[in-house]
Chains A and B, each alone.
Chain A
Amino acid sequence: MCKKFPAYFQSVSSKYNIELPPLDAVNQPPVEVYRACPTQKIEKASFLNSYEEHNFETVVGEEDRPSSYSLSVYSKVSGVRRFTKITRVYPHPCLIAKGCLESCMGKWKFSPRSSHIDFWQYENVPVWEYFNECEEGELNVGVK
């Protein structure tokens, strides 16, 4: 099956003169990531990118940011846990899913400063099916 990004990527790219996904996004090697599930279930609705999560609108003033069209995941469970503690956007405690990003799913880009990763998914790939609920013990890994 031909992997392609959502159709709106092209119109957004043209409209805001940005690359979607960015040219330096990668799809190798596979990377283990964590995702906070806003619906408290590992399902499609918990794996919508920011644009689709907000009903095909971006956060005000951020229309020209490639991150506005990505799914936020974290390479460390501490990163995603911290996010849910600080901002109440997602329920707390939030179900955290663990999975692995692979080339068949899309492309991603690491944040230089944190464990946050922007993930641009291919269309019609059931990303959530590659994730499982984080085990209780793993949620506390690394905590002093």
Chain B
Amino acid sequence: MLVLNDIFKDIDELEDLRLDLILVEDVRPILFTCLDESKNIYLGLCSFANNERILWHITKTNYDVLIALLSDEITIYDAFKAGSKNKYMITYTELGVDCKKLTFDLLKEEYLPVKGEYMEVEDGEYDCELAEFKKRNSVKCYTATLNFYTETKTVLVRSMSHLKGLTESRWNFDKTSNHKEFRDYGRIKTSKI
């Protein structure tokens, strides 16, 4: 039986992607979220399926977009357009899996949601999903201790990209403390705010 997680395993850049929540379902997930190992969230849609191929489009996104989508604040089309500049177009055929990275303007309209249409959420319909997304989206601040030769400073850090921005300047991490959130950057002294 065809399983989305098995499809992702065959794609170099997406091999650790896993199906997260199914937002709309037909005989297969039509609109869904995925998570990678770094807990980045993605929005996926099944654009086409016939006896020859199945086509999915996936985009890295954020919880603000997903919450707006399930709150009918943005259209389904705009929710997919938002997020990362590059979108993944995944094709499955009998020969295997193919994945292309394309900017949104290169995607064919016929494979995207209808423009101008909202989810039209009924009362309480997506309460569980919204609660989960809001929980995941709650702002956590960490203090990171950075050093440059004899100078040391402590800064507030909200995300890995924020941290990366800091360390691309002259500052390095103080390697004396530990936090798993930023494991790729070694050890930082943290306290949750």
Chain A positions within 8 Å of B, measured between CB atoms, are 50, 54-55, 57-62, 64-65, 67-68, 70, 72, 76, 78-79, 81-89, 92, 111, 113-114, 116, 118, 142-144
On whether A86 and B24 interact (CB within 8 A), knowing A64-B1, A92-B114, A144-B123, the answer reads yes
Count, chain B residues at interface, CB 8 A: 37
The answer to whether A60 touches B25 (Cβ under 8 A) is no
Main SS at interface, chain B: loop
A82 to B125, alpha carbons, bound, how many Å?
13
**B residues within 8 A CB of A68?**
27
Chain B positions within 8 Å of A, measured between CB atoms, are 1-2, 22, 24-28, 30-31, 45-54, 72, 76, 92-94, 110-114, 117, 119-123, 125
Instruction: Tell me which of B54, B72, B114 contacts A144 (CB under 8 A).
Output: B72
Within the complex, what minimum Cβ distance (angstroms) separates A82 from chain B? 5
The answer to whether A86 touches B30 (Cβ under 8 A) is yes
A92 to B109, alpha carbons, bound, how many Å?
13
Q: 13 A–B contact pairs at CB < 8 A?
A: A57-B50, A59-B49, A60-B52, A60-B54, A62-B2, A67-B27, A68-B27, A72-B27, A86-B76, A86-B114, A88-B48, A116-B25, A142-B122
The answer to whether B26 touches A57 (Cβ under 8 A) is no
Chain B minimum-CB-distance residue to A64: B1
Within the complex, what minimum Cβ distance (angstroms) separates A125 from chain B? 21
Q: Told that A113-B25, A142-B122 touch, could you supply 20 new A-B pairs with CB distance under 8 A?
A: A54-B51, A57-B50, A60-B54, A61-B2, A61-B92, A62-B1, A62-B49, A81-B120, A84-B114, A85-B76, A85-B117, A86-B113, A86-B114, A87-B47, A88-B111, A89-B49, A92-B114, A118-B27, A144-B120, A144-B122
**B residues within 8 A CB of A114?**
22, 24-25
The answer to whether A82 touches B1 (Cβ under 8 A) is no
The answer to whether A116 touches B49 (Cβ under 8 A) is no
Within the complex, what minimum Cβ distance (angstroms) separates A58 from chain B? 7
Instruction: Tell me which of B27, B30, B92, B123 contacts A60 (CB under 8 A).
Output: B92
A142 to B122, alpha carbons, bound, how many Å?
5
**B residues within 8 A CB of A144?**
72, 120-123
Chain B minimum-CB-distance residue to A76: B122
A84 to B76, alpha carbons, bound, how many Å?
12
On whether A82 and B114 interact (CB within 8 A), knowing A50-B27, A60-B54, the answer reads no
**A residues within 8 A CB of B49?**
59-60, 62, 89
**B residues within 8 A CB of A55?**
51
**B residues within 8 A CB of A113?**
22, 25
**A residues within 8 A CB of B92?**
60-61
Chain A minimum-CB-distance residue to B116: A85
**B residues within 8 A CB of A76?**
122
The answer to whether A86 touches B111 (Cβ under 8 A) is no
**A residues within 8 A CB of B46?**
87
